[in-house]
Amino acid sequence: MSRIGESATRALSRNETKNISTMTILDAIPSSILMIDRDLRVISANRHFLESAKRTRNNTVGCDLGKVFPPVIVKNMAFESRIQSVFKENRVTRGERMVYRAPGIPLRIYYYRIIPFAQGRQVESVMLFLEDVTEQVRLSEEVRRVERHLASVVESASDIVLSMDVSGRIFTWNRAAEKISGYTSEEVRGRFFSEFCADEHGCEVVRALSGSRSGKKALMNEWDLVTTEGVSIPVSWVCSPMYDDFAQTVGIVAVGRNLAERRKLEMQLLQSQKLAALGVMAGGIAHEIRTPLAVCSSAAQFLMEDGLSPDFQKDCAEKIHVGIKRASVIIEDLLKFARPSKKSHMQQMNIVSTIDEALELVTHQARIQQIEIVKSAGEDSLIISGISGLIQQVFMNLFMNAINAMPDGGTLAVSLERVKNEILVYIADTGQGIAKENLDKIFDPFYTTSPVGKGTGLGLSVCYSIVKQHFGSIEVDSQIGEGTTLCVRLPLLF
Amino acid sequence: MTRARSKVLIIDDEEDMCWALENIMKRQGVSSRSVVCGQDALELVRKFSFGLIYLDVKLPDIEGIELAQQIRGIDRKVPIVLVSGFFYHDDVPVQTALQDKLISCFISKPFQHNEIVGSLKFARRRLN
């Protein structure tokens, strides 16, 4: 072959190689690509297009665009005018969506763009680029559906569900939160959650949030939410940390349950419990009153007789006087206890005198059962913040439990200890004790070892609830056959 | 056992109750002794023979009815009168004690003096 022939052949084969490469690349791309000339005729079509449209090169290349796509599509998508404006303006179009239906082919959704190919300033041809986005669209719709459902779950919950960032600023605030607090989610977004909680519970909130932040297990806490009208609503909260894919804490979720209803129920329970306790104590108290009455009666009967020395007469009169006073005190204590608790706000109260009063009430029952009450002398004034009626009932309940554990007599020892800024009240009995496996059940509502008709099992769970309300706790230690010791902790004011 | 002059034993933890019963006895010309707990009562019953015992039901160290049984163990025949501010006449423990002849009679507090005086008829010996 001549030298020119050789170089021409080389050039030709280089060109062919180039052309083959380009076509190979186009055929490898998993999107449809058509090249179109100024007369809107198809110059080339890649394999993906041909396969998707179930066409061949022969019936596509060189054909009118209008013949390659169904006319409906060409008209609706305004292909022709779009392509022509690209030829004129030499600018890539914005991405558009197209829905392609063809007989025998399931519905497909395409995303397409028209790209100009210019040589110098003249646009020689355009590329019609089609991306099949059917799957993506389906998936994103699926995702949207799931998101809507999840959002609906949160919005439908009757409990408060809210989320905040790690610094405590509110992200989301569900419908229940709006309803209970009166604040809309627009009003609260970005503000600190603690702004909507009662001031006096500030420490609790801080503690719960920092606990969640440091990844501590979700704990239950109670603090009040303050509504737009300034009303405090008691809520029981559980705060949990939110993690990202790298196990970093990115936020906090707080779920809150409105306690107002439960508190009302508890109040009613307390009152019926009181009356039940009164029923139990009635026997003991009646006995206590009958004794001074008997003394008064005898003294009066003596006074009605003749031949009494003046000293003896005086004795009789005194005994009547003392006897009546005694009976009055017993009745007074009883009535005070039986009345429903009027005070409903936390106030400063002396827990020592409250415990003494509770002890006074159960003394009668203790005496009947040959139980010795030992109270260790301590400070006679320790002030806490609380509702004295409720605290008195708690201790009365705990004392009665101890007494009931000693049907054959024993000792009830009560002692108070001040430790840092808490007061610890120990209540120890020498009764039958509690089995280890039951120790953590005793505060469950309706758990009782009393025979049917004697105890409802509500006492300890209500006590626990009241003590929690006062930011304290109850601990129990027991040995079968030896006795039980309860420790009630309450924060001191001073 | 010392056969001392028959007396009445009063067992009640309430001192004023003992005062009342002692004075009723005095006005009847009957001598009496009072104790305030079961332990002391048993000691005396072991030492002396009493004509009648007035027994309260709720004592600090023992239940009245159980004390009555223990007294029976020491002195099988001494009449016991239960005087109580806790039970009533138709309460089961009282009825049982009466039926078992553990006690001779039951008097509830407050009482009429003539009830107490009337119970002296159960005394086993002439009391002075």
Give tens-digit pLDDT for A204-215.
788 888 888 877
In A341-456, alpha helices (H) = 351-368, 388-404
Chain B nearest C-alpha distance from A301 (Å): 7
User: Which of A287, A293, A312 is opposite residue B58, by nearest beta carbon?
Assistant: A287
- Tell whether A46 and A129 lie within a shared domain: yes
Residue A267's pLDDT band (cuts 50, 70, 90): confident
**pLDDT band with cut points at 50, 70 and 90 for residue A1:** very low
Q: Is residue A142 part of a domain?
A: no
Among A379, A383, A377, A404, residue whose Cα is nearest residue A459: A404
3-state SS, A368-391, equals: HCCEEEEECCCCCCCEEEECHHHH
Q: Which of A291, A298, A315 lies closest to B85 in CB terms?
A: A291
For the residues A117-141, what does the mean pLDDT come to? 86
Rounded to whole angstroms, the Cα distance separating B87 from A201 reads 52
Instruction: State the average pLDDT for chain A.
Output: 84
Cβ atoms B80, B102 nearer than 8 A: yes
Best-predicted range by mean pLDDT (A93-107, A109-123, B5-19, B32-46) = B32-46
d(CA A185, CA A177): 8
| Residues A369, A488 within the same domain | yes
Q: Give the domain range for residue A457.
A: 346-494
> Nearest-CA residue of chain B relative to A285?
B86
What is the least distance, in Å, from the CA of A370 to any CA of chain B?
5
Do A194 and A64 belong together in one domain?
no
Length of chain B equals: 128
CATH number for the domain spanning A292: value is: 1.10.287.130
Residue A291 to residue B19, Cβ atoms within 8 A: no
Residue A468 burial by Cβ neighbours in a 10 Å radius (0-12, 13-18, 19+): middle
Q: Please tell me the distance in Å from A358's CA to the nearest CA on chain B.
A: 21
Angle at B81 between CA B125 and CA A317, to 5 degrees: 105
Domain finish residue from A340, A360, A383: A340
Question: Residue B53 contacts by C-beta under 8 Å, 6 or more apart in sequence?
Answer: B8, B9, B10, B11, B41, B45, B71, B78, B79, B80, B81
Residue A154 pLDDT exceeds 80: yes
- Helices A260-303 and B15-27: angle between axes, nearest 10 degrees: 20
Indicate whether A400 and A478 sit together in one domain.
yes
Among A340, A364, A380, identify where a domain stops: A340
Work out the minimum CA distance from B92 to partner chain A, whole angstroms: 15
The encoded tokens of residue A105 equal: 């082919």
| Cβ of residue B91 closer than 8 Å to a chain A Cβ | no
pLDDT for A455: 53
Inter-chain CB proximity A302 and B23 less than 8 Å: yes
Q: Which of B20, B58, B62 sits opposite A298 (nearest CB)?
A: B20
- A432 close to A414: Cβ distance less than 8 angstroms: no
User: Is A129 contained in some domain?
Assistant: yes
Residue B114 tokens read as: 């003539």
| Residue after which a domain boundary falls, among A258, A293, A326 | A258
Contact A295 B17 (CB under 8 A): yes
- Burial (CB < 10 A; 0-12, 13-18, 19+), residue A71, is exposed
Residue A7 has pLDDT above 50, yes or no: yes
Q: Which residues of B touch A290 (CB under 8 A)?
A: 85-86, 108-110
Q: Which of B14, B20, B61 is opposite residue A370, by nearest beta carbon? A: B61
On whether both A73 and A211 belong to a single domain, the answer is: no
State residue B39's pLDDT score.
92
Q: Cis link prior to B110 (omega < 30° from 0)?
A: yes
Q: Are B6 and B123 in contact (CB under 8 A)?
A: yes
% of residues, chain A, pLDDT over 70: 89
* A155-211 pLDDT per residue, tens: 889 899 999 998 889 999 999 999 999 999 999 999 999 899 988 888 778 888 888
- Nearest Cα to A126, choosing from A59, A62, A43? A43
pLDDT band at A453 (very low <50, low <70, confident <90, very high): very low
Report the distance separating Cα A47 and Cα A30, nearest Å.
9
The confidence band for A318, taking pLDDT boundaries of 50, 70 and 90, is very high
**A147 falls within a domain:** no
Instruction: Tell whether A385 and A467 lie within a shared domain.
Output: yes
Residues of B in contact with A296 (CB under 8 A): 110
Split into its structural domains, chain A has a count of 4
d(Cα A445, Cα A429) in Å, to the nearest integer?
22
Confidence of residue A273 (pLDDT cuts 50, 70, 90): confident
Compute the distance between CA of residue A256 and CA of residue B81 in angstroms, rounded to an integer.
65
Question: Which residues neighbour A378 within 8 Å (Cβ) at sequence distance 6 or greater?
Answer: A352, A415, A416, A417
Q: Which pTM value belongs to this model?
A: 0.49
Cβ within 8 Å, pair B110-A287 = no
Whether A277 has a pLDDT exceeding 60, the answer reads: yes
For the ranges A64-68, A410-414, A449-453, the maximum mean pLDDT occurs at A410-414
A202 lies in the same domain as A302 = no
Alpha-carbon distance of A399 to A365, in angstroms, equals: 10
Q: Is B29 at the interface with chain A, CB within 8 A?
A: no
Identify whether residues A245 and A211 lie together within a single domain: yes
Q: How many residues does chain A have?
A: 494
**Extended strands (E) in A89-180:** 96-102, 105-119, 122-132, 160-165, 170-173
Measure CB to CB from residue B85 to each of A287, A315, A322 and give the nearest one: A287
Percentage of residues in chain A having pLDDT higher than 90:
26
If you search the block for the tokens 């960032």, which residue do you land on?
A: A165
Q: Which one of B37, B107, B109 makes the best mutation probe of the A interface by having the most chain A beta carbons within 10 Å?
A: B109
Please give the Cα distance from B104 to B95 (Å, whole number).
11
| DSSP designation for A195 | G
Assigned CATH topology for domain B8-122 = Rossmann fold (3.40.50)
pLDDT band at B126 (very low <50, low <70, confident <90, very high): low
Contact A370 B63 (CB under 8 A): yes
A376 shares a domain with A273: no
Is A290 close to B85, i.e. CB distance below 8 A? Answer: yes
Residue A185: which of A242, A193, A224, A237 has the closest Cα? A193
Chain A residues inside the 8 Å CB shell of B63: 370
Q: Is the dihedral of CA A133, A135, A136, A137 positive or negative?
A: positive
**Over 70: is that where the pLDDT of A11 sits?**
no
Query: How do the domains of chain B map onto residue ranges?
Result: 8-122
Q: Is residue B16 within 8 Å of A319, Cβ to Cβ?
A: yes
In a domain, A243, yes or no: yes
Is B95 part of the contact surface with chain A (CB cutoff 8 Å)? no
Average pLDDT over residues A328-334: 79
Same domain for A120 and A246: no
Q: Reduced to 3 DSSP states, what percent helix, strand and coil does chain A have, rounded to the nearest 5?
A: 45, 30, 25
Q: Does A22 touch chain B (CB under 8 A)?
A: no
- Strand order, beta sheet including A483-491: A371-375, A410-419, A422-429, A483-491, A473-479
Say how far apart CA A489 and CA A471 lie, in whole Å.
Answer: 9
Residues of A in contact with B59 (CB under 8 A): 370
Minimum Cα–Cα distance from B19: chain A residue: A295
Q: Is the pLDDT of residue B65 over 80?
A: yes
pLDDT at A436 (0 to 100) = 83
Over residues B26-60, the pLDDT tens digits come to 999 999 999 999 999 999 999 988 999 999 988 88
* Residue whose C-alpha is closest to residue A350's, from A378, A308, A310, A309: A378
Query: Taking residues A14-43, what's their average pLDDT?
Result: 81
Query: Which A-chain residues 217-246 have CB contacts (< 8 A) with chain B?
Result: none
Chain A from 297 to 326: CB within 8 A of any B CB: 297-299, 301-302, 305, 312, 315, 319, 322-323
pLDDT at site B98: 92
Q: What is the CATH number of the domain that holds A184?
A: 3.30.450.20
- With vertex at residue B24, the alpha carbon angle to CA B23 and CA B29, rounded to the nearest 5 degrees, is 90
Residue B114 contacts A, CB cutoff 8 Å: no
Q: Where is average pLDDT lowest: A196-205, A435-444, B46-55, B90-99?
A: A435-444
> Band of the pLDDT at A481, cuts 50, 70, 90?
confident
Q: Do A294 and B17 touch (CB under 8 A)?
A: yes
Quick check: A257 pLDDT over 60?
Answer: yes
Binary contact (A295, B20; C-beta < 8 A): yes
Do A322 and A446 lie in one domain? The reply is no
Token reading at A247: 């196990």
Task: Note whether A381 and A494 are same-domain residues.
Answer: yes
Tokens 């008097």 belong to B107
- CA–CA distance from B87 to each of A207, A430, B62 (Å)? 56, 27, 16
Examine residue A6 and state whether it is found in any structural domain, yes or no.
Answer: no
